[in-house]
Amino acid sequence: MTKTIPEILAGETFARDDVIALLSTTDPADAEAIRTAAHRVLVDNCGTSVFLRGLVEFSNRCASDCHYCGIRKGNAGVKRYCLTKDEIVDAARFCAEAGYGSMVLQSGERRDERFVSFVEDVVCAIKKETVSNTLPRGLGITLSVGEQTPEAYKRFFNAGAHRYLLRIETSSPRLFASIHPSRQSFEARLACLAFLKDAGFQVGTGVMIGLPGQTVQDLADDVLFFRAIDADMIGMGPFIVHRQTPMARHDEAMAARKKETLELALRMIAVTRLVCRDVNIASATALQAMEPLGREMGLLHGANVVMPQATPARVRRDYQLYEGKPCLDENAQECRECLCGRIRSLGREPATGQWGDPKHFDARQRHAAAQQ
Ligand code: SAH
């Protein structure tokens, strides 16, 4: 006999079939029951705080050619930039003063020594510049600069970065192959996630939702993948077409499925919260690109991290992974005010001046210590 949604929610653990059933339900009462259960698990495991990470997109130069991404190497229509060290440190100082406690440095992917040593140098400089009474260990730094060698990851960690985001994009090797050129492999991406953990990082991963050919079974396997690799942080968002990419041909089909994709993305957040419990989950900016209140909706479905824009406005337009990127015109201070107001309107509190590490990482550390 198949279980009902309330029966599945009453259980302690979730089998693959349960996850598929939770993701597939279209019944509004069941959908609301899933959302409420996810909120309860969030409050019980992580509290009601929303952690803020100032997002600095410091360069759009990229050596990769992901079929979905607007800043892929093959897109000749992009004006390429790389912020200077001083500009990035200024943005970091803004994040610290705004009370974000933590920041994300994101860019296109480059693996040349010049880039690796630049990132290392910038991380060191930010650490030095942002130590204060309120932030005795300086600003928390998350890197999101793609696939690198184990040595590069170690250098970034030793420089003072302590979290790293590298989405698997999809846990299906078949689907992964369909959205990347053949020289970008699923196995290499997986290996990088292991290197990051070995280097000592709190590791974040995630997927895009609504990819052409992606099934609800694939998405259920994504959630189980997060649990299997013991991820500390998860970031997921809807796939949004960028017209200057090879995936532009899916534009019409995607537009027709917009509402469905948004609902599925929110459901993925809720189900990931139910299965992974004490991880940090970001309410991705792509949710807001799809729907003006998308990020708030993400927070109501179990997410507890938001990444306010802190990229200097002059280059923000040149960093468009997908179309409809929000907050292109506001300055960083306006982004802060707007976001904190929105968080409070949900009855949640923006956490200020804290790194906001995922509880899962502490548990993982304790477990590792006990094994020794
Ligand atoms: N180059 C780095 C970071 C930038 S891309 C890296 O590869 O990790 C950050 C994330 O944006 C990607 O992992 C992908 O999941 C998401 N992204 C890229 N293009 C997108 C699109 N068209 N729609 C939705 N998300 C997209």
**Ligand 1 and 169: CB distance under 6 A:** yes
Position in ligand 1 atom list of the atom nearest CA 207: 15
**Ligand 1 and 300: CB distance under 6 A:** no
Residue 145 amino acid letter? V
Closest CA to 163 of 121, 218, 101: 101
Cβ proximity of 145 and 105 under 8 Å: yes
Mean pLDDT per 10-residue interval, the chain, length 372 residues: 93 96 96 98 97 97 98 98 98 95 98 98 97 93 98 98 98 98 98 98 98 98 98 98 96 95 98 98 95 94 96 94 87 82 91 93 90 82
Task: For the chain, give percent helix, strand, coil, nearest 5.
Answer: 50, 15, 40
Closest CA to 106 of 168, 58, 157, 52: 58
**Ligand 1 and 289: CB distance under 6 A:** no
Measured in Å, residue 44 CA sits from the centre of ligand 1 at 31
Q: Please, which residues have CB within 8 angstroms of residue 17's CB and are 6 or more apart in sequence?
A: 2
pLDDT given for residue 351 in this prediction: 94
**Ligand 1 and 69: CB distance under 6 A:** yes
pLDDT given for residue 117 in this prediction: 98
CA atoms within 13 A on the CB side of 75: 29
Measured in Å, residue 182 CA sits from the centre of ligand 1 at 18
Beta bridge partners of residue 56, listed in sequence order: 105
pLDDT given for residue 1 in this prediction: 64
Angle (nearest 5°) at CA 273 between 305 and 206:
65
**Ligand 1 and 304: CB distance under 6 A:** no
**Ligand 1 and 109: CB distance under 6 A:** yes
Q: How far apart are CA 26 and CA 74, in angstroms?
A: 39
pLDDT given for residue 191 in this prediction: 98
Q: Both ends of the chain: CA-CA distance in Å?
A: 44
The two tokens of residue 55 are 């997002």
Position in ligand 1 atom list of the atom nearest CA 235: 15
pLDDT given for residue 326 in this prediction: 86
Q: How far apart are CA 237 and CA 281, in angstroms?
A: 11
pLDDT given for residue 115 in this prediction: 98
User: Which residue in the block uniquely carries the two structure tokens 């930010």?
Assistant: 126
Measured in Å, residue 104 CA sits from the centre of ligand 1 at 14
Q: Quickly list DSSP for 40-87.
A: HHHHHHH-SEEEEEEEEEEE---S---TT-TT-TT-TTSPP-B--HHH
Q: How far apart are CA 170 and CA 300, in angstroms?
A: 24
pLDDT given for residue 136 in this prediction: 92
| Range 38-367 has CATH code 3.20.20.70 | yes
Question: pTM for this one?
Answer: 0.97
**Ligand 1 and 167: CB distance under 6 A:** yes
Q: Give the mutation target among 56, 66, 69, 73 for probing the ligand 1 site: most ligand atoms within 8 A of CB.
A: 69
| Nearest residue by C-alpha to atom 6 in ligand 1 | 146
Measured in Å, residue 2 CA sits from the centre of ligand 1 at 37
pLDDT given for residue 301 in this prediction: 98
pLDDT given for residue 361 in this prediction: 94
Measured in Å, residue 69 CA sits from the centre of ligand 1 at 6
**Ligand 1 and 296: CB distance under 6 A:** no
